[in-house]
């Protein structure tokens, strides 16, 4: 498990088991990151103005978000295909989301969202940047703002799953693995009968 910021108190076991089960297994990375840091003043690596000057618009709601196109970005980075109707429900149950629109094409090129209880805990999901737009700071731009938004709500524990190859992206954003030895666990009984 990874943890963001200084650990002010141990995570409770209830926090450890409160893992949403809606993400497809293939999208679940193998490590979990959690934040227990207090809100802090944030300096973004790139301002909204600079993003705009580069042709990108920061968006905070699902309005104008083309779910089929977003799904194609998920597919392009290797996430499993998901029913857009279910993605819509997931977004309706999402507490905070950030996406970046390429102004010229109106396409979503970066995305991240968080679910949670709105006061104590949040888990970040679906962090993606269109492969054609990776490596120019868009992933960092959405993550910095998502974290800030959660902290402004007073949410102290911010977790995420990270694929091993992406740990180096999350660490500078303040996430640490297995804080105090706490490990994330995911329900994965293989032989459960389907109804
Ligand atoms: C991981 C991902 C979201 C990063 O987005 P990005 O826009 O390419 O990253 P940025 O350009 O914002 O990079 C920010 C910083 O992280 C670093 N970084 C980016 N990807 C990294 C990686 N996989 N490992 C280590 N560092 C990484 C960059 O070098 C940059 O460093 P700097 O601030 O010192 O210059 C993007 O590559 C992606 O969508 N990958 C496929 C989907 C995925 O794996 N999502 C995460 C699921 S857990």
Q: Is the model more confident about 157 or about 26?
A: 157
Query: Is the distance from CB of 142 to CB of 112 less than 8 angstroms?
Result: yes
Helix (H) or strand (E) holding 73: helix 67-76
Instruction: Say if 151 falls within a structural domain.
Output: yes
Q: Does 72 have pLDDT greater than 80?
A: yes
What CA–CA distances, in Å, run from 121 to 112, 114, 117?
16, 10, 6
pLDDT given for residue 190 in this prediction: 79
Instruction: Say if 62 falls within a structural domain.
Output: yes
**Global pTM?**
0.85
Instruction: Say if 172 falls within a structural domain.
Output: yes
Instruction: Say if 190 falls within a structural domain.
Output: no
Instruction: Say if 192 falls within a structural domain.
Output: no
Instruction: Say if 194 falls within a structural domain.
Output: no
Which range is least confidently modeled, 8-22, 57-71, 72-86, 146-160? Answer: 8-22
Give the pLDDT confidence of 7-20 residue by residue, as tens digits: 333 333 333 323 33
Instruction: Say if 112 falls within a structural domain.
Output: yes
Best of 31, 146, 169, 175 for a ligand 1 pocket test (most atoms within 8 Å of beta carbon): 169
**Distance from the CA of 19 to the center of ligand 1, in angstroms?**
24
Which residues, judged by CB distance below 6 Å to any ligand atom, belong to the binding site of ligand 1?
A: 29, 77, 127-129, 134-140, 162-163, 165-166, 168-169
pLDDT given for residue 17 in this prediction: 29
Range of the domain at 73: 2-181
pLDDT given for residue 29 in this prediction: 39
What CATH number corresponds to the domain at position 6?
A: 3.40.630.30
**Counting beta carbons within 10 angstroms of the beta carbon of residue 155, is it exposed (0 to 12), middle (13 to 18) or buried (19 or more)?**
buried
Q: How confident is the model at residue 1 (pLDDT cuts 50, 70, 90)?
A: very low
Q: What is the count of structural domains for the chain?
A: 1
């Amino acid at each position: 498990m990874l943890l963001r910021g200084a650990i002010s108190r141990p995570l409770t076991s209830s926090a450890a088991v409160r893992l949403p089960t809606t993400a497809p297994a293939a999208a679940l990375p193998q490590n979990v990151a959690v934040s227990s840091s207090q809100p802090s003043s944030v300096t973004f690596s790139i301002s909204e103005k600079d993003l705009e000057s580069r042709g990108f618009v920061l968006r905070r709601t699902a309005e104008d978000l083309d779910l089929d196109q977003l799904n194609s970005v998920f597919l392009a980075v290797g996430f499993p295909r998901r029913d857009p109707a279910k993605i819509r429900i997931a977004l309706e149950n999402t507490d905070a989301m950030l996406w970046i629109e390429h102004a010229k094409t109106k396409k979503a090129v970066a995305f991240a969202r968080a679910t949670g209880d709105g006061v104590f805990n949040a888990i970040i999901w679906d962090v993606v940047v269109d492969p054609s737009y990776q490596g120019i700071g868009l992933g960092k731009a959405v993550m910095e703002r998502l974290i800030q938004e959660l902290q402004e709500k007073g949410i102290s524990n911010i977790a995420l799953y990270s694929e091993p190859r992406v740990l180096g992206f999350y660490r500078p954003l303040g996430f640490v693995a297995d804080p105090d030895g706490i490990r994330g666990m995911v329900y994965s009984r293989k032989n459960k009968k389907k109804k």
